[in-house]
Chain A
Amino acid sequence: MDNESVIQIRNLSKVYRDFWGRKKVQALNSLSLDVKKGEVFGLLGPNGSGKTTTLKLLLGLLFPTEGEITVLGRPAHDVEKNEHIGYLPEESYLYRFLNADETLDFYGRLFKMSPQVRKERKDALIEQVGLQHARRRQLKEYSKGMTRRIGLAQALINNPDLVMLDEPTSGLDPLGTRDMKDMILKLRDEGKTVVMCSHLLADVQDVCDRIAILYGGELKVMGSVSELLQAQDETQMLTTHLSDDALREVEAVLAKHQAKMMKVDHPTTTLEDLFLRTVQESQARPGRRFVPGERPGEDGNAPETESGPSDAAKVEGAAS
């Protein structure tokens, strides 16, 4: 896998202001993260934690209050970069008076693409998202799932190198969810980079290489899914012919016995477990970075401690 960063976010903050410039919400607070080329990156977090805001900042739909964003080597406000980006909005903000064909045709025409290629891609995508039967119906007649599907097709019309999906599986039936996940994996196989937000943790666990969990606009956890879900202090053994005897002595002299070792590894928790722990921890101790290996209370700090700067620094250091 290439290690080149497709997205670089440095110290990104976003404050929503009202008409008079008064602060309404701090949606993001000093967020820094990188997305590497070719990976599927998941942005998780409870409702209102700033996931959609992050994506919109990446796309230049919102302007950062502070910090820097580089997407595909260009600043976020540069429209040229959009040539290689596909975006599926949280809700499909499409033109309801167009039909599926016209929708794809319209968005296709916004890219540098010959009419021939445009037509081919349009037909392929409509097939891929399973809307052949409804391609001539106006979008206002579509069900939620169908709208999601055409939304996805729209995001892929330019054969993008970087795909941003905001809750791609919401509203989809199980079959659609399966298709969506397959599609994401297929995109990864093609060497594309995918950034997605989702609440469906099982789906994220299935497809994402790396994740970040946001809470209240701050980054709480980031890392590869397999690493994050490893329970470091536990070992799981799967053996055959392990006698009671051996079982007793196994810690000391595993190798001396004839038992054939099948597997020794760390059991993984589920992402759901990690997510819930992160959120609980963040609620209990605001302002701290969450370290997955750590059990609440283990670091000797009382859970209700208001973390001072030195404390936060220590925890950050431990996590990195």
Chain B
Amino acid sequence: MQLVGMERAGTASVLTARGSGLVTCRQCTRVWPMATEICGRCGTKLRSRDDLSMQKVWAWWLTGVIAYVPANLYPMLETRALFDTQDSTIVGGAVDLLLHGAPVVALVILIASVLIPVGKFLAIAYLAVTVGRRAQTRNADRHKLFEFVEFIGRWSMIDVFVVAILSSLVQLSSLATIKPGPASLAFAISVIATMISAQSFDSRMIWDTGFPPKAPQA
């Protein structure tokens, strides 16, 4: 089986569906004349490019960033043991783990709850800012970055689940109880909003170099 690509005659640039007056179905890979609205094969709504993509990306991105602030300021966990009550934030909890001799788990939490979210904010912003600029040379790298962001985002939910698990497990009447703190809600909202932001990103725009699409062919 051979996948035969198309190239613009005389240039190195790859021919795209849009450049040929066609619209691609992102579900089943069929192409249709530009004016087609619904894929005749799988029923998916067709859009050559999602025009609202960037607005959605930025709106969800902002929601994610804003929610990430209280997620770090307020406690994730409220631990009440016999004689003391202890609130721990995301970073505080990781530091505790480090001091208690569990550096690997501390690292997992720091990666999932700090490195990945912050890295995602920066990566999505970078991709959104650079999209649609002419003469992009690093399309392949930016696309790889996008795929990585999309793949890794859900793993940030680890800390939310840890809070849920501990709060249900550590209910030992007077000895010790753990309750979820307000930061768990803020953090979950931040992760979910950032996931939606990445999903709203139309990755095909990474590859658009500013060539105007051919007029739709009837």
Chain B associates with chain A:
no
A interface residues (Cβ-Cβ under 8 A, vs B): none
B interface residues (Cβ-Cβ under 8 A, vs A): none
